[in-house]
Amino acid sequence: MSGPLTTGIATLCHEIVTKVSSDAGGQVQQIGDRLDDPLRVAIAGRLKAGKSTLVNALIGRRVAPTAAGECTRVVTRFRYGPADRIDVVTRDGNRHSLPLDEDGMVPSRLGVPASRVAHVDVTLTSDRLRDLTVVDTPGLASTDAASSGRAEEAVGIDADSAGEVAAAEAVVYVFTQAVRADDRQALEAFHTASARLATSPINAIGVLGKADTLTGGADDPWPVAGRLAGQQAGLLARTVGDVVPVAALLAETAEAGRLTAADRDALARLAALPAATLTLLLASADLFRSRPAPVSAEQRERLLTRLDLYGIGFACAQLAADPRLGTGELVRRLLGASGFPRLRDTVDRTFRWRCDAIKAGWALTRLQRLAGFAADPRDRAALRDALEQALRDPAYHRLRLLDAAQRAATGAVALPQPWEQDLIRLATADDPRVVLGLPDAGDDELAAAAIAAAGRWRAWAFDGAGPAQARIAQVASRGFHLLAREVSTKPAGEPATGTTTGEVRPCRT
């Protein structure tokens, strides 16, 4: 189901097709057709940052291989389909199918050299993919000799990865530990490579992966993880809207149902050990493997691959406090301890609930790019005229707000931080109470606040703002005036949700 913004852009695309050449019209048609697809989210990050593990948690199935192999060096798209299927798409456009391996995963060997693979197309029956296509990209900063020839500059931005991020409407950046200098270089290069997407805090979030490894053994990592995530959010404020710490291995195990009743019983036996013995056992992976314990070496290795030391220690603490704890409840608590529920909420808030705005913004950016680079000057003129006419229409003003918010969020036009956040909320939120920061306000108070906000932006446009800032300020001022009109004219008793400024609903297809 499309939202009002994507519906408007689709109508605009249909109108443009009749006014331009067949070549430009074909490109416009492709943009319009993409608006009906699920939101496409690219997962980007360094080698061994835990991207594929996070992909599995998002999908709810362990299907993306996490060990190094051919399939981790190519782009893999995971999308919804009526049956599980893997197609390897080669650079010449041919496709050949593969079965899932015996563990239900994408096989580690693709049957085609990675250098010939354009991407791997995986369709799954997972309901989580009905409104979200997840794209797993190869690691940044690759030093692999086989891929160095396809990389851009020293940070190793693979051309296919850059293309997939540019083709996506939203991005999740995954990093570990503190952001290092080469991390920032890689992220900046990826940001540059995806300029067509205009990644910004509107449609990008960061994940501090492997948060459970930030402290030794089974120690609680979350105080350290929270501080690091906050620091990274500050460093990457122009790139991502938030940074969420996650223990992706725990999340994958919980979400993919990888912890069995036998695993729970093994953990219960460990939980019954004297505290000092268990503490020593969990001090390192080597000690956990080698010290005497009431659990077989094979079972201990299995627990490490599913929970690692922090997860094992957390599970033991839960079982020590409540020995009757069942497997299902233990899995639920492990999921909470992974930090994944917060990430899922952030994905919903940033991506799914902004889906209409994000997809419309993506399409608008593509149309504007086509208007600037179309081969035929008559096509360029027709595209510019159609876009300008649409953006003057009050019904399309939300698109102008999105364009202004993207310019501010990416730093193309610098705004004071509170003003920038004000604009982003106006462009992407669907509830006037959220836009205005008045969760308990009535209609009259909301209308008055919107008029006051419009006045502030208009005053700044004429006194204090630079030329580029003034243009954005005038767009914001009009947006708040339209919001005030909307709140004032809605029927009595109707919930205060956006229409003129653009109602945002979860994308469904």
Transcribe 288-357 into DSSP letters. Answer: HHHS--SS-HHHHHHHHHHHHHHHHHHHHHHHHH-TT--HHHHHHHHHHHHTHHHHHHHHIIIIITTHHH
Three-class DSSP category at 325 = coil
Transcribe 68-126 into DSSP letters. Answer: SSGGGGS-EEEEE-SS-EEEEEETTS-EEEE---TTSS--S--SS-GGGEEEEEEEE--
Q: For the chain, what percent of residues have pLDDT higher than 70?
A: 85
Kindly report the backbone phi and psi dihedral angles of residue 158, in degrees, each rounded to the nearest multiple of 5, phi listed first: -65, 135
Edge to edge, the sheet with strand 95-98 lists 95-98, 85-90, 117-124, 76-80, 132-136, 39-45, 170-175, 204-208, 243-245
| Residues 108, 115: Cα–Cα separation, whole Å | 15
Residue with tokens 């354009």: 118
Judge whether 254 and 263 are in contact, CB under 8 Å: no
Reading the block at residue 181, the tokens are: 């200098």
Residue with tokens 């798409």: 89
Length of the chain in residues, anyone? Answer: 509
Q: Which helix (H) or strand (E) holds 243?
A: strand 243-245
Name which of 125-139, 240-254, 303-317, 484-498 the model is least confident about: 484-498
Question: Which pTM does this prediction carry?
Answer: 0.79
DSSP state of 260: -
**Residue 501: band (very low, low, confident or very high) from pLDDT cuts 50, 70, 90:** very low
> Residue 50: is its pLDDT beyond 70?
yes
Q: What is the mean pLDDT of the chain?
A: 84
Judge whether 260 and 327 are in contact, CB under 8 Å: yes
pLDDT tens digits, residue range 371-408? 999 999 999 999 999 888 877 777 678 778 877 887 88
Reading the block at residue 212, the tokens are: 């459970």
- pLDDT in the model for residue 236: 79
Question: What radius of gyration, in Å, describes the C-alpha atoms of the chain?
Answer: 25
| Residues 443, 441: Cα–Cα separation, whole Å | 7
Considering only CA atoms, which of 260, 405, 238, 242 is closest in space to residue 334?
260
Average pLDDT over residues 62-86: 85
| Residues 429, 184: Cα–Cα separation, whole Å | 29
pLDDT tens digits, residue range 20-41? 999 999 999 999 998 888 888 8
| Residues 339, 250: Cα–Cα separation, whole Å | 9
Average pLDDT over residues 161-182: 71
Q: For the chain, what percent of residues have pLDDT higher than 90?
A: 50
Domain ranges of the chain: 38-247+341-350, 257-338
| Residues 413, 400: Cα–Cα separation, whole Å | 14
- pLDDT in the model for residue 22: 93
Q: Which CATH number fits domain 38-247+341-350: 3.40.50.300, 2.30.180.10, 3.40.50.740, 1.10.645.10?
A: 3.40.50.300
Judge whether 376 and 24 are in contact, CB under 8 Å: yes
Residues paired with 89 in a beta bridge: 95, 119
Q: Which amino acid is at 271?
A: A
- pLDDT in the model for residue 211: 92
**Residue 445: band (very low, low, confident or very high) from pLDDT cuts 50, 70, 90:** very high
Judge whether 194 and 164 are in contact, CB under 8 Å: no
- pLDDT in the model for residue 164: 65
pLDDT tens digits, residue range 456-499? 999 999 988 899 999 999 999 999 999 999 898 766 555 544 43
